[in-house]
Structures are given as C-alpha cells and as structure tokens.
C-alpha cells in the first residue's frame, strides 16, 4: 500500500526523500513528487507549498495520479492552547478550517454540504503516529544544543484539534480570538484540514503531525523561519523514520 508523506515546505521533510530506494522524481501539476521505496515499501514524498488550495491540489494528485492509499502530513504549526509550547509536537485527532464561514446559510465553520465542520483523523494511522512519537519522546527528537538555543524546556506530545486557514497568524489578539471561538484547538496551521477533506472524499486514511514553531503571536514571523531552518527537518526525520517501519504493508 503506497504511503504519502506530505509537507508544505522542503525544510519540513528535509533529508527524507533522499533516503528512498529506486528514487524517481516525477513532475506533475507543477510539483515534484519523489517516488520510491522505503525498506521495500512504496513511499511518496511531496511538497504542497503553503495554503489550503495548494495542499488540496497536492493531496488529490497523490491519490489520483500516484495511487497514495494513506497520507501523513508533517510540518510546523503555531501553538494556540496555553499548554502547547514551542518545541512541542501536536498530533491531530480532528481538523477544522477556521476561516470557513458560509453563515447564515450554514453554521460557522461547517463545510457546506458536508454537514460537518470537523474531519476526523484516521484512528489506526494516528495511533501509529502517536506510538512513533511516544517511543521517541518529543525531547529526543531535538538535540540538547538546539533545545538550549531555542529555549525548549521539556517538549511534550499532544493529541487533539488542529485548525487550518489561509492566514499566517501573527497577532496575539487574533490567536486569542481563535482560542475563544475554538477552545479545544491546540494549534493553527495552513493545510491539514484541506488535506483531511480531500482524503475524506476519497476514503483515504489521513493523519497529521505538527511541531510547534511559534505561538501565533507578534514573534511568529521571527520564530517560524528560525525553527523551519534549524529544527523542522530534525524532528521530521526522527518521527517519519520511526513511523514508516510501523505501518502495515
């Protein structure tokens, strides 16, 4: 069964695609898809670029053109919940588009004609992602020197709601509004809920993991690029490298 690992940006899966055997790079829909085998299993690595449309386009291509039968998103997010700190890992249980608003025709956040605002992560795939993360421990994914440089104290693993929208949240008052409206949201990013919707349409299992690069506040535009360059790839290599061998063939 072909597994796809999807991220928005190259740094979020740096050093993974080069580990594929029989690697072939296929250009499709203005994107490069890395197709190969990971210890014998068919695996694809793909980059969506940023935002919900780009992510949905890439997810549809993974499924329709490349035959992906499970998709795992790995990348960064801004922490929203007070317990979710920079360096922590959030594994999605549900996904919601926080900028979806067709009210008063449909309730706020509901995706019109789906009868729902939230799309659930695949339970089995998510259980394996949680097992991989817990077997590593959030702290073990990052070396001690990087932890010190980024001021990361005892990173933790969380499981809960991830929210997506076409906005990089960089104001504390906007983050506060999101927290008030969606108190169970753990973190905010720009792609996972779109991929969850595409996977729902195709009946393809989906799971997502996000490492927390910033707190979605005025510091986010500084914290995010630094984390992206120095930490994102280290965490992705550790977690995805641990997850792939756990997946059923």
Contact flags string 66-85 toward ligand ADE, x per CB under 6 A: ----------xxx-------
CA separation for the pair 213, 10 (Å, rounded): 15
Tokens of 134: 């817990």
Tokens of 63: 């499924």
- What letters, b where the CB count within 10 A reaches 16 and e where it falls short, cover 220-236? beebbeebbeebbbbbb
The three-state secondary structure class of 202 is helix
Q: Is 122 a catalytic residue?
A: no
CB of 212 closer than 8 Å to CB of 84: yes
**Cβ distance to ligand ADE smaller for residue 42 or 51:** 51
CB of 196 closer than 8 Å to CB of 93: no
**Cβ distance to ligand ADE smaller for residue 24 or 173:** 173
Contact flags string 172-211 toward ligand ADE, x per CB under 6 A: ----------------xxx---------------------
Question: Is residue 12 part of the contact set for ligand ADE (CB under 6 A)?
Answer: no
Considering only the stretches 27-35, 56-64, 216-224, 231-239, report the one whose residues sit in contact with ligand ADE under the rule CB under 6 A. 216-224
Q: Is 32 a catalytic residue?
A: no
Q: Which residues 86-105 are close enough to bind ligand ADE by CB under 6 A?
A: none
Phi-psi region of 204 (alpha: psi -120 to 50; beta: other; left: phi over 0): beta
Question: Which one of 189, 214, 217, 223 is the catalytic residue?
Answer: 214
Active site residues: 12, 214
Q: Which residues bind ligand ADE (CB under 6 A)?
A: 76-78, 168-170, 188-190, 213-214, 216, 220, 224
């Amino acid at each position: 069964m072909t597994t796809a690992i999807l991220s928005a940006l190259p740094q979020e899966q740096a050093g993974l695609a080069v580990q594929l055997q029989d690697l072939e790079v296929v250009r499709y829909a203005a994107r490069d898809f890395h197709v190969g085998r990971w210890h014998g299993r068919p695996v694809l690595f793909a980059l969506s670029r940023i935002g919900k449309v780009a992510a949905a386009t890439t997810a549809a291509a993974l499924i329709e053109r490349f035959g992906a039968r499970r998709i795992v998103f790995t990348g960064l997010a801004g922490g929203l919940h007070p317990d979710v700190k920079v360096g922590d890992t959030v594994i999605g249980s549900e996904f919601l588009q926080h900028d979806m608003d067709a009210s008063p025709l449909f309730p706020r956040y509901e995706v019109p004609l789906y009868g729902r605002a939230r799309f659930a992560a695949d339970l089995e795939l998510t259980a394996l992602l949680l097992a991989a993360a817990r077997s590593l421990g959030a702290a073990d994914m990052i070396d001690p020197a990087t932890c010190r440089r980024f001021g990361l104290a005892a990173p933790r693993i969380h499981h809960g709601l991830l929210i997506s929208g076409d906005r990089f949240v960089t104001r504390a008052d906007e983050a506060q509004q999101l927290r008030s409206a969606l108190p169970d949201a753990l973190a905010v990013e720009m792609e996972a809920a779109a991929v969850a919707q595409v996977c729902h349409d195709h009946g393809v299992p989906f799971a997502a993991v996000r490492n927390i690069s910033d707190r979605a506040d005025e510091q986010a535009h500084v914290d995010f690029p630094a984390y992206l360059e120095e930490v994102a790839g280290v965490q992705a290599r550790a977690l995805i490298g641990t997850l792939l061998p756990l997946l059923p063939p």
